[in-house]
Amino acid sequence: MSRTVTLTVDGHEVALPEGSTLLEAARAVGVEVPTLCYLETLTPVNVCRICVVEVEGSRTLVPACSRVAEPGMVVRTGSARVRRARRMVLELLGSAVHLDLAPEVASWMEEYGAEPGRWGTPPAPEPRVDNDLYVRDYGRCILCYKCVEACGVDAQWTFAIAVAGRGDEAHISTEYDVDLPESACVFCGNCIAVCPTGALMAKSEWDLRQAGRWTPETQHTTTTVCSYCGVGCNLELWVQDGRVVKVTSPLDHDVTRGNLCIKGRFGYTYLHDLPEGYLTPIDHLLSRF
């Protein structure tokens, strides 16, 4: 059994197993800390800085997602200094890229009074549509590294993408920036699954959004088991108008931890792509009998 660590978060004392993070401590006392680059299935890289909190005695703010709790720490998650830092992070991110598909960002902008417009408007580069399975819209990329981690040792071990360039030029890229089909990519789509801003998106969803026909309010999801191979991956089928429009896997199921392969994530189209004549009566098939 591991030992426990006791610390204080926003005035609440909390005891946690040794090795827990400040984010886990905050959640344990019911305090919400915003995160973008953090995901429980990935190694924290603490690059987005939206989760920073103040630790008494620490010169700088610390990222809650990766800072390990120590005995006696006094943590403040909502101090003026923390709020100012988060506002700045949101403004810089929001002036660099389009965040309208990141689910909670709009509410955080409001909460922290962020006005990204005062730093300029983000550019809108053409999305890269170089294959039939998924689209890369780097005008939405906040360089959070999640896709790189999912493609690397946290899940897939394919290493098809990495951060290329320095400073303003930094961007996620395949080797020599080749199109995905020419790259090492195996189209598992595990990068899409972890992308927090919609920069990576299944083509099926992207096409519907482009056509103005993506309607989350009419969708339902059903959890089932993949029909390819015998590993037993859980699939969440997103259904709109009687058609599967997207496939994901639950993060909290320990067979997949949210990951799938190309067949599981994209191989469902045979459900709808029916051959000619499939829906007509089949009496002619009985003729030999």
Partner 1 sequence: MFGAGGGTSSYREIEETDLIVLWGSNARAAHPIFFHHLLQGVRNGARLYVVDPRRSESARFADLWLGLDVGTDIALANAVGREIIAAGLENREFIRRATTGFEAYAESVQPWTLDRAEEVTGVPAAAIRDLAHAYATADRAQLCWTLGITEHHNATDNVLALIDLALLCGHVGRYGSGLVPIRGQNNVQGGGDMGALPNKLPGFQDVEDPDVRARFERMWGRPIPPRAGRHLTLMFEGMEEGVVRAVYAIGENPATSEADAGRATRLLSGLDLLVVQDLFLTETARLAHVVFPAAADWAESEGTVTSSERRVQRVRKALDPPGQAREDRWILSELARRLGVDWGQPTAEEVWDELRALSPIHAGMSYRRLDAHGGLQWPCRSEDDPGELFLHSRLWKDPIEGPPAPFMAVDHDPPVDRLTEEYPIRLTTGRHLDSYNTGVQSGRYRSPRRVGGTLDLDPFDAASLGVRDGDRVRVVSRRGAIEAPVRVSDGLRPGLAFMAFHYPEETDVNRLTIEAWDPKSGTAEFKATAVRVEKL
Give contact residues for partner 1 (rule: CB under 8 A).
131-133, 153, 155-157, 180-181, 185-188, 220, 222-234, 237, 239, 242-244, 253-257, 259-264, 266-275, 278-282, 285-286, 288-289
Nearer of residues 121 and 219 to partner 1, judged by Cβ = 219
Report the interhelical angle of 105-112 vs 80-96 (nearest 10°): 130
Nearer of residues 124 and 231 to partner 1, judged by Cβ = 231
Tell the smallest beta-carbon distance from residue 142 to partner 1 (Å).
Answer: 26
Q: Taking the CA atoms of the chain, what radius of gyration do you get in angstroms?
A: 22
Tell the smallest beta-carbon distance from residue 191 to partner 1 (Å).
Answer: 14
Tell the smallest beta-carbon distance from residue 197 to partner 1 (Å).
Answer: 24
Which of 141, 139, 142, 145 has the alpha carbon at shortest distance from 162? 145
Tell the smallest beta-carbon distance from residue 90 to partner 1 (Å).
Answer: 34
Tell the smallest beta-carbon distance from residue 88 to partner 1 (Å).
Answer: 36
Cα 195 from Cα 19, distance rounded (Å): 26
- Give whole-number Cα distances, 126 to 168, 175, 191, 210, 242, in Å: 18, 20, 19, 13, 31
271 and 226 in contact (C-beta within 8 Å)?
no
Nearer of residues 211 and 274 to partner 1, judged by Cβ = 274
Nearer of residues 173 and 256 to partner 1, judged by Cβ = 256
**φ/ψ of residue 128, rounded to 5:** -95, 110
Cα 14 from Cα 57, distance rounded (Å): 19
CB-side neighbour CA atoms (13 Å) of 139: 13
Nearer of residues 35 and 156 to partner 1, judged by Cβ = 156
